[in-house]
Amino acid sequence: MTASSIEQQAVATIAGLSMDAPHAARSGHQGTAMALAPLAHVLYTRIMDFDPATPDWPDRDRFVLSPGHASILQYSLLHLCGFGLTLDDIKDFRQWRSATPGHPEVGHTAGVEITTGPLGQGFATSVGMAMAEARQRAHLGTDVVDHFTYTICSDGDLAEGVSHEAASFAGHLGLGRLICIYDDNRVSIDGMTDIWLSDDPVARFTAYGWHVVNLGEIGNDLDALEEAILAAKEVTDKPSMLVLQTHIGTPSPTLTDSPSAHGYAFQDDEIAAAKTELGLDPTQTFQVSDEVLDWYREAGSRGAHKAADWAAANPNPDAMLTGEPTGDWKAALPTWEPGANVATRKSSNAVLNAIAPMWPSLVSGGADLTGNTGVQLNDGDQVTADNLGGNQVYYGVREHAMAAVMNGMALHGGALPVGGTFLVFSDYCRPSVRLAALSKLRVVYSFTHDSVGVGEDGPTHQPIEHVAALRSIPDLSVIRPADANESAGAWLAALETDGPTALVLSRQDLPVLDTTSADAVANGGYVLSDPPDAVITLMGSGSEVQLCVEAARRLADQGKPARVVSMPSMNLFQSQDDTYRAVTLKRDLPSLAIEAGVSQGWYRYADEVVGINRFGASAPGATVMHELGMNVNNLVDQALDLLQ
């Protein structure tokens, strides 16, 4: 069998699996995977460096399938190239606990670099991967870091707003080792894209500062695809966008270029007809000949020597690669004396700057709010197109992209991304925050200006429902510290957590309280005061804990002693054992919670809640807090009512 004929059979095998697996599941997306089979074949066998035996080799090329609905395409290549997926795994596509879920999930399937599916996210996240690679290469040199990020994106990816932000940012930084191939198949679920899209992708990405090539209809020409990608690799000062016009569902006699081919359209008759065109046996399913499998396994093993040579040359990888600290960063955590007054965004910044020298992997930045949100590094080295090794990023007004880029840096490895914006704008970050939680990525968000205490900017900038909304995301640690020392504890918990953390921080100064504890923050909730004759428990988070402390003093003067519980993190508290939670809450006493936001979520722990279940108002911050019930007098009154 000639090289040409075996590769034709190999591409046909991918297309066949791309039809058979969704058909067996009665669910999935076939047409895109069929059309992209030649491109994926070229990337995995002619272009990318990887080693299936060591899929986490740090200097491997990264592959991002942004249209994650075409996951069967990637699974087929991972099986064929020897990443450990079996043919039975392919047959188990989209089934309970299978290794081949409906969309690729990082950490679930070897060889999958990123969880994709929400359109635009994969494209934007790949920018962060390229940034992390560039930073490591700048510090460690090309002998240690010398890889590329390859991304396939779709019409839907580039229609989503996050792609505009990320593309603009990537062009601004000149990320030359980011190569995107745009599958311009002109098809969407609603019909042909011309009913809603008339963009000129070449002009658009050229304006962003990308190197753009319109490849035309070379989707089935393996040599031309290889030549185009290799040429893009030579462009080192700009990211590359290769616009490839494909035909969804090809080579089906009836469904090529059909919008229905986007989903589960190929059933028995359509599959048989397409397999006949591909030269496959139309009566057989999940066909992988020994010749094709042997050919792919040999192709997949070609990177093994590179991975082995790299490992031999780097027996003790630099902290810039491992992402680990280089010193006793915990000992560097600052402390504050009771009686001081400091906003938690400022104390958080003090912590960040204290530990940054011991975390070479730390990269901090803000969405045009760098100083305001406590993510400014005192000795920060600005990331620019001429200095990609820096650690201070100015994302500009791009919250969507910032959060996705942070995910990309974390996914790449060797980066500890920190990003800041106002809490009210966490809505813009939410899709990426959710994916960070789903992917268990260690990223730190500094969400500041955390309440109606923002003041004069008014209800558009005063978060009400945002803390509750963040708390609703599984596996996201949301920490709202009560004072400066709890801010230090929040960082301690964040950097010892496998997953993302949202720090929710105040704009206004808060008093440092007598009994707060940095170490106790990791418990999520803990007792600040517990008089033996207490008749009620007061609890809160953030700026309202001080109100609980003062209200307890006043209640004690009235002969009604009160316990005080600080609850900086509900999710961390919920992870404690039943005994700890019971001792902390002491549910045999009535309990009252207070927080400057919606009361949702607090009723799990308290009998009554003093919250803000309306939008805010424009006035000085202290005035708004007082008028909306965030004051000691109201808390005391509510406690007395509850006791009655």
pLDDT value of residue 314: 95
What architecture does CATH give domain 524-643? 3-Layer(aba) Sandwich (3.40)
* Beta-sheet strands, E only, within 123-162: 149-154
How confident is the model over 425-453, as a mean pLDDT? Answer: 98
Per-residue confidence band for 246, with pLDDT thresholds at 50, 70 and 90? very high
CB distance 385 to 138 below 8 Å? no
**Token pair of 25, please?**
């599941």
Count of CA atoms in the C-beta half-sphere (13 A) of 378: 10
pLDDT digits (tens, 9 = 90+) for 281-296: 999 999 999 999 999 9
pLDDT of res. 233: 98
Catalytic residue chosen out of the listed positions 105, 113, 270, 399: 399
Q: What is the mean pLDDT of residues 250-272?
A: 95
Identify whether the C-beta of residue 257 lies closer than 8 Å to the C-beta of residue 247.
yes
Q: Angle at the Cα of 511 (from 505 to 512), degrees rounded to 5?
A: 90
Boundaries of every domain in the chain: 3-312, 329-511, 524-643
DSSP assignment letter at 512: P
Q: Which two tokens stand for residue 168?
A: 């603009």
Distance CA(627)–CA(462), nearest Å, equals 14
Q: Give the pLDDT of residue 4.
A: 81
At 4-26, the pLDDT tens digits run 899 999 999 999 999 999 999 99
- What's the CA gap between 435 and 440, in Å, rounded? 8
Residue 3: pLDDT above 90?
A: no
Instruction: For residue 564, give the DSSP letter.
Output: E
Q: Do domains 3-312 and 524-643 have the same CATH topology?
A: yes
Please give the torsion angle defined by the CA atoms of residues 389, 394, 396 and 402, in that order, rounded to the nearest 10 degrees.
70
Percentage of the chain lying above the pLDDT 90 cut: 99
What's the rounded Cα separation, in Å, for the pair 589 and 21?
A: 58
Whether the ω angle into residue 251 lies within 30 degrees of 0, i.e. cis, is yes
Read off the tokens for 1: 């069998």
Chain centroid to CA 177: how far?
A: 21
Is residue 264 within 8 Å of residue 254, measured between CB atoms? no
| Residue in the block written with tokens 């592959």 | 63
Residue pLDDT, tens place only, 219-228:
999 999 999 9
Is 80 exceeded by the pLDDT of residue 1? Answer: no
Determine the Cα–Cα distance for residues 383 and 319; give it in Å rounded to an integer: 19
**Does 517 score more than 80 pLDDT?**
yes
Residue with tokens 């940034």: 131
Q: What's the mean pLDDT in 230-240?
A: 98
Q: Is CATH 3.40.50.970 the right assignment for the domain spanning 3-312? A: yes
pLDDT digits (tens, 9 = 90+) for 592-630: 999 999 999 999 999 999 999 999 999 999 999 999 999
How many CB atoms are closer than 10 A to CB 127? 30
Phi, psi of 283 (to 5 degrees): -95, -5
The yes-or-no answer on residue 7 being catalytic is no
Whether the CB-CB separation of 149 and 62 falls below 8 Å is answered with: yes
**Amino acid, res. 438:** L
Say if residues 150 and 211 touch (Cβ distance below 8 Å): no
Mean pLDDT of the chain: 97
From residue 412, how far is each of 113, 215, 594, 600, 626 by CA, in Å? 8, 28, 40, 36, 46
Q: Please state, in angstroms and rounded to a whole number, the distance separating the CA atoms of residues 498 and 509.
A: 30
Q: Is 28 helix (H, G, I), strand (E, B) or coil?
A: coil
- pLDDT at residue number 2: 59
d(CA 223, CA 38) in angstroms, rounded, equals 10
CATH number for the 329-511 domain, one of 3.90.1150.10, 3.40.50.970, 3.30.420.40, 3.40.50.300? 3.40.50.970
